[in-house]
Structures are given as C-alpha cells and as structure tokens.
Amino acid sequence: MKKQEVAERIQKLRKTIDRHRYLYHVLDRIEISDAALDSLKHELKKLEDEFPDLITPDSPTQRVGGEAQDKFQKVRHAVPMLSLEDVFSEEEFSDWHTRIKKLIPDVRHPELFGELKFDGLAVSVLYENGIFVRGATRGDGETGEDVTQNLRTIESIPLRLEFHGAVSGRLAAYEKAIRRALVSGMVEVRGEVIITKKNFEKINAAQKRKSEKIYANPRNLAAGSIRQLDPAITASRRLDFFAYELVTDMGQKTHSEEHELLALLGFKSDTEAKHLSSMKEVYVFHEAVSKKRDALDYHIDGIVVQMNDNALFGRLGVVGKAPRGAVAFKFPPEEATTHVLDIRSQVGRTGVLTPVAHLEPVSIGGVVVSRATLHNMDEIE
C-alpha cells in the first residue's frame, strides 16, 4: 500500500473503532463482536508500527501508550473546582431552599435540576481543537494534579470530540457552536471518575488473593487508580466517567442544556437527571433514586440539586468553596449488623480515653467498617 492509502485506511480504522467505543462505553450498545473489533485494532496497530509518523495522540492505540510518570505535575484550574454543601433530610433541604429564595426575591419559582451524585473522584478534562490534551484532579479546588495519561485509559472519555446526534429544533442551534469548538478553541468538561460495583468487588478479590491492600470504598479505588504512576495499572482498573458540567460557554442557559450538550459532545451523562419544579418533586426524586440505588451499576451517595438557570446559579455566588445555588441531598447511611470482637481504649490528644470497638469488618454503603468509637450510650446500644 502507498503511504497515502495507508493514511486513509488508518483514518477509516480509527473512525470505526471509535464509533464502537462510543456505542459500547457511552451508550451501552454492542454492534460488533469482540473478535472483529480486536482484528480492527490489530490492523491499526500494525499499520501504525509500520508508519510511526502517522500516529496521532487521538488514535485508539494511544490510550495506554503513555510512559509511567515519577510524579504528577501541578495544574491550576482556570475556574475553581468547587464542592457542595451537604443536606441529609427534607428539613435541611427546605432550609437551603428558603435561604436561597430570600436571596433572589424577584424570582418566584426558581426551577431546579436534579441528578445523581456519583461516588467517585472529580476530574476536569480539557480539549484543544477537539483533541484531549489534559486531565486533572480537583485537588484543593484551585490546584489539582495532571493525570492526563491515566485519564486517557478511560474508554468513556473521548480522545477526540465528535458531534453526536441528529439534532433538530431547539438543540440545532448548538450544532454550530459544537462544530466550531471541535476545530478551534478549548473545551473543558468536568465529571466523576467512577468504578462499577462489579469491578470494585473483582479488584478487591484479586487484591485479597495477592495479599495486597483492600480498597475501603469505590471512591478510594477510583482515586487510587487515577493517582497511579503507571497508566497500565489505571487501565487494568477499567474505570468509567460521567460528565456533569460543561465549563466552556457554548451558549447554554440552563444546567439541563449543559447535560444535553455533554451528550452531543459524546460524553456519558446521567440519564436519570431531570427538571424539578417544586420541593415536592425534589423529595419524590430523592426517594425514587434512593429506591433504585441498589439496582444501579455504580455507587451513588445522594442527589445533586441546583438552580437550573445558570445566570441565577452565578448570581447566588459562592460561600467558602461551595456554590450557594447547589446542594448535595445525601442518602442516610445504610445500616448493617456485625460482631464486636474486642473493645479497647484509645488515648486522645488531650489524654481522654475513648472506648473503641473492633468489629468484624462489615460493608456499609460501600465502605468497609472495622472500628467504631463508642462515644455515648445510644451509639453503644
């Protein structure tokens, strides 16, 4: 084959492989057998080996191509990565709502938007002219760590942005903005790196067999995997990514449009997410999600509720490191039964003795608990 023909074949292979990646890892659909896909990947790899100058960073072969690092570089976030205030009951949620409404007396019924709160690790992914160029952890919100090589291994994170979807009507206006961003400029997306419950169990079982560290919860495992210095280890963890924020202005006016744009850009985003027009609807959504929780493939620890109108969200501002216009409405911790193996005293910093129960390890809401401080009688009971 002439080089020009090879280049064309490579393009074709990349497009096909990426299409099946998107179908499988983002839309959860299979249209090709593993064997057929492997043979396409194999052919691509062979051609790229023959013509290394045709390798580009967005090629599917480059997901685990990165070198092991000896440490992570610091990255300053252009827009701080905030966290959320937690509420645990309808009463606390209602207090938040009342507080917010007082700050925007001119808006009678601010529309809310609800979505799942994934239990993983927040990261930011950055695209230049449509190509994935940098990924970073949240860190302290101002400065995170550059974990680009490790994020490249996550198949639900596109290495090249494409416009996905036949849009009509209202969303058609976005097509232009997206297409422009794919060829020039920066796009920043934020979301959560997570691990499926199934993979979590599988990895911990393997760790146990090797007498290596057991991860206490899926968040620890996701964080530990993203902060691996060797991307090959990250790749073996088969992490996943849900996008929940489009930082770049593409004309979105609401958070719900942001979710639609993220899907059009080829990201996996929460399909449970929805408009909530009253407090009652928030409570119903919270309850419905809490019932569905066990059936989901991933751990979630609550719902996130925020002002749907981005202008209002901005107007409400930030207090500390959390935006006033959003809140995490968490689920109550789950309960479990176990055996107390021993009770020992622990000496605190001020010399106070606290009894600590050593427990047969038990999993509660995705966390393995093996100790509990016995502060007062009702806890002991």
Taking CB under 6 A as the rule, does residue 326 contact ligand IVH?
Answer: yes
Q: What whole-number distance in Å separates Cα of residue 330 and Cα of residue 286?
A: 9
Q: What sign does the CA torsion over 306, 311, 314, 316 have?
A: negative
Q: How many residues bind ligand IVH (CB under 6 A)?
A: 16
CB of 173 to ligand IVH, least distance (A): 25
Collapsing DSSP states into helix, strand and coil, what is residue 5? helix
Q: Which of 3, 15, 45, 117 is catalytic?
A: 117
Q: Which is nearer to ligand IVH, 31 or 287 (CB)?
A: 287
Q: What whole-number distance in Å separates Cα of residue 174 and Cα of residue 179?
A: 8
Q: Which is nearer to ligand IVH, 264 or 326 (CB)?
A: 326
CB of 310 to ligand IVH, least distance (A): 11
Q: What whole-number distance in Å separates Cα of residue 115 and Cα of residue 304?
A: 5
Q: What whole-number distance in Å separates Cα of residue 329 and Cα of residue 283?
A: 10
Greatest CA separation found in the chain? 80
12 catalytically annotated: no
Question: Which single residue brings its beta carbon nearest to ligand IVH?
Answer: 122
CB of 92 to ligand IVH, least distance (A): 15
3 state SS for 114-166: EEEEECCEEEEEEEECCEEEEEEECCCCCEEEECHHHHCCCCCCCCECCCCCC
Q: Which is nearer to ligand IVH, 84 or 239 (CB)?
A: 84
Collapsing DSSP states into helix, strand and coil, what is residue 366? coil
Residues 14-73 within binding reach of ligand IVH (CB under 6 A): none
Q: What whole-number distance in Å separates Cα of residue 132 and Cα of residue 79?
A: 18
> Which of 100, 235, 304, 316 forms a contact with ligand IVH (CB under 6 A)?
304
Q: Could you give the string, one character per residue 175-214, with x where binding to ligand IVH holds by CB under 6 A and - elsewhere? A: -----------------x----------------------
Q: What whole-number distance in Å separates Cα of residue 183 and Cα of residue 173?
A: 17
Q: Could you give the string, one character per residue 68-87, with x where binding to ligand IVH holds by CB under 6 A and - elsewhere? A: --------------xxx---
Specify the stretch interacting with ligand IVH by CB under 6 A; choose among 125-133, 210-218, 322-330, 354-362: 322-330
> Which of 114, 135, 323, 366 forms a contact with ligand IVH (CB under 6 A)?
323
Q: Which is nearer to ligand IVH, 117 or 286 (CB)?
A: 117
Q: Could you give the string, one character per residue 89-118, with x where binding to ligand IVH holds by CB under 6 A and - elsewhere? A: --------------------------xxxx
* CA nearest to 268, candidates 114, 155, 136: 155
Q: What whole-number distance in Å separates Cα of residue 87 and Cα of residue 15?
A: 45
CB of 114 within 8 A of CB of 97?
no
CB of 260 to ligand IVH, least distance (A): 15
Residues labelled catalytic: 117
Contacting residues toward ligand IVH, per CB under 6 A: 82-84, 115-118, 122, 138, 192, 244-245, 304, 323, 326, 328
